[in-house]
Amino acid sequence: MTEQKETRAILTKEDLIHAFKNCGLREGQHIFVHTSLSKLGFVVGGPEILIRSLLEIVGAEGTLMMPSQTWKNLDPSTGVHWEEPTAWWPIIREHWPAYDKEITPAIGMGVVAEMFRTWPGSKRSDHPVRSITAVGKHAEYLTQNHDLCNIFGKGSPLDKLYHLNGYVLLIGVGYDKNTSLHLAETIAKFPGKKVVHESSAIMKKGTRMWVTYETQAVDDGDFVRLGDEYDKEMNIKIHKIGNAEVRFLAQRSLVDWATVWMEKNRV
């Protein structure tokens, strides 16, 4: 029997460090990372080695951030429990576990983000649905005081990264996974902007509570189109690491550009 030809790249820690440095990563940077590990190919050592590679590059003066969102901790009526019958919704509302930043797993963020959530020295924000995790110099600053009603706006982790002149690293994922574009949404002024009421389970003074809060509605439906135009206008270099496309972006430039784009293109 003929052995099937292997199409995956194989990458060691040294390969990753060299490749990421070629993308522009440097010591002392503060970087929001979004990644699909499988898109890279076969990373020897898996998510642990990818995280170690990035931490080694940014060093003690730098910071890494990753999403650790728990979006199933929303009201079932929003569609997050689409697999379950509507008759179960009241039970889910009453019994879904309250967010615990030490325990609650990230949902759908990938194996790298889930390992990063438990990394030694990691800090995680308090938002019961849209938390982020950070490791490094500014980890505590970036994750503290993540207001329930202010997910992505002024004073949020994204806004703090913006004021630190941070970066966005997209590894094998596109602009539809680029959380920083939600900061542009909060800044931009467009007619369709609205607020919504969301509900989640939280712990308050040792008691589980189902709380409802007001926050800005977000929509990533045009992020891919926006990203395509940003790549072209700003001549963004798309790197190749293993089998993955990789973009390394200055967050502030991206957010400023995206804010103007949304004001022109959103209704």
Q: Report yes or no on 1 lying in a domain.
A: no
Q: How far apart are CA 102 and CA 123, in angstroms?
A: 9
Q: How far apart are CA 199 and CA 215, in angstroms?
A: 10
Q: Per DSSP, what are the bridge partners of residue 136?
A: 63
Q: Report yes or no on 148 lying in a domain.
A: yes
Other Cβ atoms closer than 10 A to 113: 23
Task: Give pLDDT tens digits for 12-26.
Answer: 999 999 999 999 999
pTM over 0.75: yes
DSSP string computed for 215-255: EE----TTHHHHHHHHHHHHT---EEETTEEEEEEEHHHHH
Q: Supply the mean pLDDT for the chain.
A: 97
pLDDT exceeds cutoff 70 at 224? yes
Q: Report yes or no on 104 lying in a domain.
A: yes
Task: Give pLDDT tens digits for 71-117.
Answer: 999 999 999 999 999 999 999 999 999 999 999 999 999 999 999 99
14, 53 contact by CB (below 8 A)? no
pLDDT at 2: 64
Q: Report yes or no on 177 lying in a domain.
A: yes
Q: Report yes or no on 238 lying in a domain.
A: yes
The total domain count for the chain is 1
Q: Report yes or no on 3 lying in a domain.
A: no
Q: Report yes or no on 2 lying in a domain.
A: no
State which residues form the domain around 72: 10-265
Q: Report yes or no on 4 lying in a domain.
A: no
Q: In what order do the strands lie in the sheet with 123-124?
A: 123-124, 132-136, 63-67, 30-35, 167-171, 244-250, 239-241
Strands 167-171 and 30-35, by their bridges, are parallel
Task: Give pLDDT tens digits for 22-80.
Answer: 999 999 999 999 999 999 999 999 999 999 999 999 999 999 999 999 999 999 999 99
